[in-house]
Structure 1
């Protein structure tokens, strides 16, 4: 075979799953080789080998509309091996790069890799940026994606169960209306509900729960949270009622969520109310935030008119904490 000739098989890349393998039968000291295109993911790829001071191996996508508009972010490992006795394979570090052209990635190896050798490239992941912007995401299903899809499917099922009353087996009486729900779902979300249905209580016998300290809308928001279908605006609107329900029915994650939300928008018009709620439901972070807002940031002067009413109605223990905070701040 002459120097400029090579067999068709000498440029062919075999692929299986996410692994591509290029077997080079003959590579001289002053040679450039490029493989045939091979498909991994949604892109056609090339491997190339060139010899100057070192042997450089490049991996790059075929120029196309897809590779131009949505170039791949490839995470991969390269391995070069030779059948020569005593020759150890060269294995690259794990690379993760945005690859647009042959200039974006080159791996230099020992120039003694001449003659016959094999290049393996294993793609650990391939990511793509959405056309409308945003973070790159994998084109291959993974555990996180599977979990996400499974969660979405579960939420759709729960939403249908709640909205359509599919096999609903418990009635909830609110202050201004009636709702239908499922004992199993309620019991799994709250130890208080579980106890109602586990022991010989009136709720178990009648399959009815009275939640008359909540309106129909706020109780619907509570069920929306339990079933995973609550909308942000409904949570925001009913969060004080949800906080009370979370405390009453021992739904710890909802209680934490309400505290975090209430802490996020403290202002002069609500800080005293928030302080009262924090004391009532033992929300230490919210209480700390309210006291810091009032005293560390000096906003106590903005609520002087409201303080009289607060002092008349607040619990003695809470007032004692407020006075202790005053003494700490104003300590000479």
Structure 2
């Protein structure tokens, strides 16, 4: 319960980019264009993988779900961010803030598992090619994806259930452009030590365990490539992993930059700028990586565009 001279927080104020108010028009245009590119690029991947027959293989099935997570992640944050830039401050109901926090957590951290599943797929393709079709059947692919979404949803929801039981009294503003976990918890007037311990344990499971699994799979892949006798075989094996390995480096490099860099009271406001890395930059890079570095995607895109031109000509 709140004290007599305090009121329960019913609305959250998001301060956004107050220090950059004079650049708001430029920021609005840049982030709007970036958001449209993210939507266009990732939706194009989803459409291609869904409609083009030769892309209906496990690697691209997982890529489709990664693209879906990117679209949902940016959509849960960027439209609100654009509104904040335009009016220089955002307001959300407390329920709306918690809802955004919940959605952001699921769509952001499910990517850890999806990227780990993709590394397992690459491990099977390179290290066990003769058994790949049986080990990575459509049923197994569906189970891996469903399991990733289900586990992340359950773990994030368990944290949110604890957060909503806390008291939020008095201060109701966040120096950020969305309801991130740290700033929201800092608003609470309750003892959050148990939640922080729970968050640490869950973070190990959501971030450290998938990352360790990815490192182990790529160690096996690396040694398998080294044992390959022909130079062509080594190049082909490496090319099957290059796009995914680039995604791993960008995604976990972003997480390390945001969560592992020490901050204090004087630099905490910089977190919102670092948050742009995983809310905007990473979702923007994934379609670029797979479009430019993947021959199958480029062929499918060319085929898709050609079909559209042909259909429009006949119409």
Q: Which structure shows the bigger proportion of residues in helix conformation?
A: 2
- TM-score normalized by the length of structure 1: 0.24
TM-score (norm 2): 0.24
The higher radius of gyration belongs to 1
Higher strand proportion, which one?
1
